[in-house]
């Protein structure tokens, strides 16, 4: 029997990089969580303890900080592309690099109705995500970029049904034609290329998904997810595929009749668990191959 080394990669996970732009008195802040993972000729490190090809994870940490200055953090995608290409192009043993980034947005504190120059509060909404994977050298080099967000908590207080479902001897759920539908949405999308206005596309996709969630009269969360993905693919040629994951944050009508109080869809118990977890991929039938685009490194995205 032979024991063999399977696929392997390594890097520095979750570097918490904060970049302040302070060229004028009005500062800007970018706050990210960046992970890098390298693939390549690293078998000797595993098999013999030979580190000669191993670019330390400590160096990868330093690169994440150095590039925040020299490349900048105007968009996480451009920063991620620069990092990934640096590893593959400039570090000989590296054959592939994956960069995963979470973007934590801040907004200016309001003082006397004006945005303050250098004081910020964390924005409570979703966290923007991206991943960049670069593999190969020269003309053979291939690049995959995904964008997305997590923790977009969204709720509609009507316009949602769930009825006509399959019933067996264990079914107790009552059909409903008017319920609260709420989720903490994770959405990821795969770009077809890198010639993309990253910020405008992100804002547009998020707005489109939120608006579809609002306007679709939903017969199930499954239908809502598919329609959100469809809307993005119809509007954005630069997107090949959308992946959605949505916990159904159940809101149960609280029984107030016991106290002689009427409750016509007004008071609910927001249950945190268990939750239905609905996931869907929505893809163009002619989408290019996903390659390693979805090979998550940190498991956080």
Ligand X SMILES: O=c1[nH]c(=O)c2[nH]c(=O)[nH]c2[nH]1
**Would you give the binding string for ligand X spanning residues 159-188, x where CB under 6 A is met?**
---x----------x---------------
What is the residue whose two structure tokens read 């302070």? 22
Contact pick of 276, 294, 295, 296 for ligand X (by CB under 6 A): 276
The tokens for 215 are 């306007």
Q: How far apart are CA 34 and CA 71, in angstroms?
A: 14
Tell me if residue 12 is catalytic: yes
- Output the smallest distance, CB 19 to ligand X, in A: 41
Interface segment toward ligand X; rule CB under 6 A; list 139-147, 203-211, 215-223, 284-292: 215-223
The answer to whether 105 and 125 are in contact (CB under 8 A) is yes
Which residue's beta carbon is nearest to the bound ligand X? 221
Give yes or no for residue 248 binding ligand X (CB under 6 A). yes
Q: How far apart are CA 240 and CA 288, in angstroms?
A: 7
Q: Strand runs (DSSP E) across the chain, as ranges?
A: 15-21, 28-40, 94-103, 106-111, 114-122, 127-135, 142-156, 181-191, 239-248, 251-253, 268-270, 276-283
**Would you give the binding string for ligand X spanning residues 252-271, x where CB under 6 A is met?**
--------------------
Tell me if residue 116 is catalytic: no
Give yes or no for residue 298 binding ligand X (CB under 6 A). no
Q: How far apart are CA 114 and CA 110, in angstroms?
A: 5
Interface segment toward ligand X; rule CB under 6 A; list 18-26, 218-226, 261-269, 293-301: 218-226
Give yes or no for residue 246 binding ligand X (CB under 6 A). no
**Pick 157 or 222: Cβ nearer ligand X:** 222
CB-side neighbour CA atoms (13 Å) of 210: 15
Interface contacts to ligand X, rule CB under 6 A: 162, 173, 220-222, 248, 276
């Amino acid at each position: 029997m032979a024991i063999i080394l399977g696929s392997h990669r390594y890097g520095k996970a979750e570097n918490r990089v904060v970049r302040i732009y302070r060229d004028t008195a009005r500062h800007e802040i970018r706050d990210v969580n960046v992970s890098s993972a390298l693939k390549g000729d690293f078998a000797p490190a595993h098999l013999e303890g030979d580190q000669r090809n191993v670019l330390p994870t400590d160096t990868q940490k330093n690169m994440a900080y150095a590039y925040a200055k020299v490349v900048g953090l105007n968009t996480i995608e451009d920063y991620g592309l620069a990092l990934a290409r640096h590893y593959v192009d400039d570090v000989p043993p590296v054959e592939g690099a994956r960069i995963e980034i979470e973007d934590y947005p801040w907004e200016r504190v309001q003082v006397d109705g004006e945005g303050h120059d250098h004081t910020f509060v964390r924005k409570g909404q979703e966290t923007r995500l991206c991943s960049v994977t670069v593999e190969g050298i020269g003309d053979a080099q291939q690049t995959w970029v995904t964008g997305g967000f997590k923790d977009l908590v969204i709720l509609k207080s009507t316009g949602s049904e769930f009825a006509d479902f399959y019933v067996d001897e264990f079914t107790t759920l009552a059909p409903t034609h008017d319920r609260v539908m709420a989720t903490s949405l994770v959405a990821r999308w795969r770009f077809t290329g890198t010639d993309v206005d990253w910020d405008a596309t992100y804002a547009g996709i998020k707005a489109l998904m939120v608006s579809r969630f609002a306007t679709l009269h939903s017969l199930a969360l499954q239908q809502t997810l598919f329609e959100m993905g469809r809307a993005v693919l119809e509007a954005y040629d630069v997107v090949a595929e959308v992946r959605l994951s949505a916990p159904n944050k159940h809101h149960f009508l609280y029984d107030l009749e016991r106290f002689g109080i009427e409750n016509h869809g007004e008071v609910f118990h927001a249950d945190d668990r268990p939750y239905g977890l609905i996931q869907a991929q929505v893809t163009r039938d002619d989408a290019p191959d996903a390659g390693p685009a979805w090979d998550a490194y940190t498991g956080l995205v």
